[in-house]
Amino acid sequence: MLRSAWWKILSFALLMYTCTMGFLVKIPVLDDRLQQSIRNLYFHVPMWFGMMVLFTVSAIYSIKYLSSGKTIHDNYATEYARTGIVFGVLGLITGSIWANYQWGKPWSGDPKQNGAAIALLIYFAYFILRNSVNEENKSARLGAVYNIFAYAMLFPTIWIMPRLTESLHPGGEGSEGNPALNPKDLDSHMELVMWAAILGWTLLGVWITTLRIRLILYKEKIFSHA
Amino acid sequence: MSYSSKQIVALFKKDVLLETRQQHAFYGLLLYVAATVFIIYLATGEPESEIWNALFWIVQLFAAVNAVAKSFLQDSKGRMLYYYTISGAVNYVLAKLLFNAILMLMISLLTLLIFLLLLGNPLNHFLQFVLISFLGSTGLSFVFTFLAAIAAKAQQQAALMAIMGFPVIVPQLLLLGKISAITFNDVIQAGWWQMVAVLVCLDILIVALAIILFPFLWRD
């Protein structure tokens, strides 16, 4: 499935759709809270969806690596985590730009912001751990163990903790509810574009990762022939 | 008593024996905590309850890192192999978790005592706070025991423990701070026990992960 081209074309088409319709689609007239800045929904929110998907795939490959011991699974896990980090950083940046207009400053210590920053620190630590061990096998094994542990710790960090406190994020009023999105702010057109954006960006993330894995495999081939 | 629980108890006893033979480590830890709290006392006197709470958990955090960091370093490689062949990885890690949890319980009780002595007593619900500090210290010890096992394999103890541990522990610390802050109020909120339940679940999750993942760390 990953070798076929259709999903890459789909990703391209969806992102073209996102980047045009994201700016053109009519947005519902809300009170003063969110005006045109709600269009960040198509660029900021999908980053987190993408990050979660990529980290999940990474954790699955870590489990696979522990049960099979094949290096290729470890390569998959590392590269998916790497792309996940890129998505997370992009999510923070797009969020900060949005927050600068919406909340008055790029970083307001919102629980969701803090949670995302901690999640990224957890994954940066993953790469530091991997690089601090020289033996390749050992680094892969320790990395896989930590990756699974980090993934389990990710849930309280970004799913449970931010929900316990009020958030500045749309939908974060009161201590109940999802403090990142307010479904009441969207109409059906916006939702359509949102899902297209989420799917498109996530597929792009997978695409980038598969390219990186191919690069690694080619490098290994060169080394083994040298 | 089943065979494996006997083994866990035996391994646990071994850890206790090692600790009582080398008491300087334990006393060193006590001195570490006492000195830290004394510095806080000199710096702030009797702080407000919010700061009291924050400082308490920070002291717990650093005490946990120091108490647990060495737990996988005492045993040499050959002895590890010996334990591995006679009992297996799961029993070994369970004994370590148990030992570190009890060690941290003692430390947290002592920290609380020194805090009450020097920094005043802003607590309104003493027993609840003790319960939370016990839950919290076992949780901290579980996380850092597991990370110490990873760090021991990576041979770069102190730095790696902090790098891996601090981000991972943050959600738990935030939750602890939040729950324990409530015990300073006059009335305990209705959702309090629910949050305690979340904390307990988190601890159980960590133990389960340690049991599942530790055997993979041991394979060399």
Contact B209 A122 (CB under 8 A): no
- The angle at the Cα of A149, spanning A143 to A151, to the nearest 5 degrees, equals 100
B80 versus A50: the higher-pLDDT residue is A50
**Which chain A positions have a beta carbon within 8 Å of B179's beta carbon?**
none
Q: What's the whole-number average pLDDT of chain A?
A: 85
Reported ipTM: the value is 0.84
**Least reliable range by pLDDT among A42-56, A164-178, A205-219:** A164-178
Q: Which two structure tokens, joined as six digits, stand for A185?
A: 């702010």
Mean pLDDT for the stretch of residues B39-61:
89
pLDDT band at B140 (very low <50, low <70, confident <90, very high): very high
Q: In the prediction, which pLDDT does B1 show?
A: 58
A216 versus B76: the higher-pLDDT residue is A216
Contact B219 A133 (CB under 8 A): no
Residue A31 has pLDDT above 70, yes or no: no
B204 versus B158: the higher-pLDDT residue is B204
Could you give the number of structural domains in chain B? 1
Q: Give the separation between CA B172 and CA A164, rounded to whole angstroms.
A: 13
Q: Give the separation between CA B204 and CA A129, rounded to whole angstroms.
A: 25
Give the start-to-end residue ranges of the domains of chain A: 41-225
Q: In the prediction, which pLDDT does B105 show?
A: 93
Contact B153 A138 (CB under 8 A): yes
Contact A156 B167 (CB under 8 A): no
Torsional class of A165: left (φ above 0), alpha (ψ -120 to 50), beta (otherwise): beta
> Domain limits at B195?
3-218
- The angle at the Cα of B108, spanning B104 to B110, to the nearest 5 degrees, equals 120
- Chains A, B: CB contacts within 8 A come to 72
Q: Which two structure tokens, joined as six digits, stand for B97?
A: 């978790």
Q: Which two structure tokens, joined as six digits, stand for A96?
A: 């900060």
Q: Give the separation between CA B73 and CA B145, rounded to whole angstroms.
A: 12
**Which chain A positions have a beta carbon within 8 Å of B150's beta carbon?**
129, 142, 145-146
Residue A82 has pLDDT above 90, yes or no: yes
Residue A173 has pLDDT above 60, yes or no: no
Q: Which two structure tokens, joined as six digits, stand for B24?
A: 């300087």
**Cβ–Cβ under 8 Å, residues A144 and A66:** yes
Q: In the prediction, which pLDDT does A80 show?
A: 95
Among the partner residues A144, A146, A157, nearest to B164 by beta-carbon distance: A146
pLDDT band at A210 (very low <50, low <70, confident <90, very high): very high
Among the partner residues A141, A150, A152, nearest to B205 by beta-carbon distance: A152
**Cβ–Cβ under 8 Å, residues B148 and B168:** no
Contact A118 B163 (CB under 8 A): no
Mean pLDDT for the stretch of residues A56-82:
93
Instruction: Tell me the percentage of chain A whose pLDDT exceeds 70.
Output: 89
**Chain position carrying tokens 């940046």:** A93
DSSP-derived letter for residue A180 is T
Among the partner residues A145, A160, A165, nearest to B150 by beta-carbon distance: A145
Neighbouring residues of B105: CB distance < 8 A, sequence distance ≥ 6: B134, B137, B138
Q: In the prediction, which pLDDT does B156 show?
A: 66
Residue A207 has pLDDT above 90, yes or no: yes
pLDDT band at A172 (very low <50, low <70, confident <90, very high): low
Contact A152 B202 (CB under 8 A): no
Q: How far is B110 from chain A (nearest CA, A)?
A: 29
Q: In the prediction, which pLDDT does A108 show?
A: 83
Among the partner residues A66, A121, A150, nearest to B216 by beta-carbon distance: A66
pLDDT band at A74 (very low <50, low <70, confident <90, very high): very high
Q: Of B147, B156, B192, B213, which to mutate for an interface test with A (greatest number of A Cβ within 10 Å)?
A: B213
Q: Which two structure tokens, joined as six digits, stand for B212?
A: 């599942």
Contact B178 A164 (CB under 8 A): yes
HSE of A195, CA atoms in CB hemisphere, 13 A: 7
**Which chain A positions have a beta carbon within 8 Å of B146's beta carbon?**
149
Q: In the prediction, which pLDDT does A54 show?
A: 95
Q: In the prediction, which pLDDT does A32 show?
A: 64
Among the partner residues B154, B167, B174, nearest to A133 by beta-carbon distance: B154
Q: In the prediction, which pLDDT does A106 show?
A: 86
Among the partner residues A118, A121, A132, nearest to B154 by beta-carbon distance: A132
Contact B198 A138 (CB under 8 A): no
Q: Give the separation between CA A41 and CA A37, rounded to whole angstroms.
A: 8
**Which chain A positions have a beta carbon within 8 Å of B198's beta carbon?**
160
Tens-place pLDDT, residues A105-128:
888 878 888 888 988 999 999 999
